Structure 1
């Protein structure tokens, strides 16, 4: 007959084994999903260092001595218009992000901190902006930009992307601002600190994970967007890199080396941003899940 201590030990051992099995299963699933997501990116980068013949002969093979080539990168980097497209993408993305974070944080602060008539309706209005895709209003947006004489300008893209990113930014930042202890704000007000100082010196540093989350979730759609650059800024001087890659794709022939090289270079800013903000991003997502 087994003793109670032996039964408890066996029970704990079974629980540990079950927990380890669940953890192993979760890691296997996440690892498989990561490979599924990374494989297309790795294929693009690997094939960008291969000759055209090697790309079509064996696209899954690693670059070898006979198939290695940087002709695509040389062509892309020597093309002044391509460098200008990278500059356009960086400018549009950077300005849009700055405005989305600034206006989104200020709007979230106002909606959560101050009570006023119509507050709930305004929150619902911003939530409605998340549910309705902005592309449904492409015709009206184009008509508005034509009336304002903003077609073929980067300003048109910035305005559209700010309007596109604000609803999500406000919703995410509002949830985090609500978690800031009210005692901190009340103590600052008792010391005579102004509202702008409270916002910039106390609130923003405390919601850095949320800011990183909004940054990543907002930058990727803006940087990768093809729809609005094609409609609002298709001229040679205002093309973004996503739209500019199309110049290497012809009706009868395509320079795949240049296309893959340009796409590989276009991925770098996203990877750098994620590497710099991954810790804050994970903290923000985890905190949001716990809430």
Structure 2
């Protein structure tokens, strides 16, 4: 009994140490956003002499951060919504309907996991040019949706296959259509998988630097990762403004993770314990 208590205490110690190491950079970033450049270089690990929002006010004056923030929100939310809708319907079809081409279709989605989308940047650029989507947020939404569907279908298909077929048969007897079964019966049961899909794709779209750099040229249409590059000067960098921008850009990801963290953890551990 004492051995079990000692092992559990040791586990808690390691868990708290890991949490401290993981959260320390975030805390340091937030604290540094209230400092001046002189304070950051002279006392990088200390608390600021005074907590003031002056740095954040300067940030909004130095760059159009409001545009960057709104563009990132629009692109990330629209991409996640489209990915969740399309992937849920595709995964439901692959998990519940057996035709000759079901295996081939499922393998087609798996290919999207094997081949990095960045390898096709030149064809993608030409495609967006022909569609008239260059220098438009729609180009990013389309690319993020296409790149996020394969892994989302892979995750959701596995969850749909774990659900008992009897639930659908009972709903069909009550007069539900296939879409009503999916929307009213199955989707509430796979919330852990949906939470996993939402967090993975939101973070991927929010933090992406490559595609906005290629497809967006107008300053007011840039997302946060590309827009923040303005703060890096050729000879000097205002690190207080940079930390303030990073703090604001991290808030939506923290909020999304807090809202969907329970479903995310259940999705990661689903099937591990019978």
Structure-2-length-normalised TM-score: 0.94
Gapped runs of 5+ residues in structure 2?
none
**C-alpha distance 288-240 of structure 1, shift in aligned 2 (>3 A):** farther
Corresponding residue for residue 55 of structure 1:
40
- Quote the residue 1:5 is aligned against: none
> 177, 180, 189: which is aligned to 1:206?
189
Residue 253 of structure 1, aligned match among 221, 226, 236: 236
Give 1:217's aligned residue.
Answer: 200
The 3-state SS of whatever aligns with 2:220 is: coil
Instruction: State the Cα distance separating 1:284 from its structure 2 match.
Output: 1.7
Question: How far, CA to CA, are the matches of 2:132 and 2:202 in structure 1?
Answer: 26
- Aligned ranges for residues 1-291 of structure 1 at < 5 Å? 16-65=1-50, 68-78=51-61, 81-290=64-273
Please tell me whether the aligned partners of residues 63 and 230 of structure 2 are also in contact (alpha carbons under 8 angstroms).
Answer: no
RMSD of the alignment, in Å?
Answer: 1.7
Q: Secondary structure at the match of 2:219?
A: coil
Measure the CA separation in 1 of the matches of 2:111 and 2:4: 41
* C-alpha contact 2:193 2:267 (8 A) present in aligned 1: yes
Structure 1's 54 and 169: CA in aligned 2 closer, same or farther, altered over 3 A? same
Aligned length: 274
For the structure 1 residues 280 and 141, does the alpha-carbon distance in structure 2 shift closer, same or farther, using more than 3 Å as the test?
A: same
- Bigger Rg, structure 1 or 2: 1
Q: Deviations over 1:16-62 (max 9, x none)?
A: 34433443444333333333322222211110011110011111111
Shift of 1:94: 0.6
Please state whether the residue corresponding to 1:207 is helix, strand or coil.
helix
- SS of equivalent to 1:64: coil
* Conserved? CA contact 2:196–2:268, under 8 Å: yes
- Indicate if the aligned counterparts of 1:152 and 1:234 stay in contact, CA closer than 8 A: yes
- The question of whether the paired residues in 2 share the 8 Å contact of 1:71 and 1:257 is answered with no
Give the 3-state SS of the residue equivalent to 2:134 in structure 1.
coil
2:44 aligned counterpart, secondary structure: coil
TM-score (norm 1): 0.88
Bigger mean CA offset, 256-265 vs 23-32: 23-32
Structure 1: give runs of 5+ residues left out of the alignment: 1-15
Deviation at 1:263, TM superposition (A): 0.6
How far apart are the structure 1 equivalents of 2:82 and 2:204? 15
Larger relative contact order (Cα-Cα within 8 Å, sequence gap ≥ 6): 2
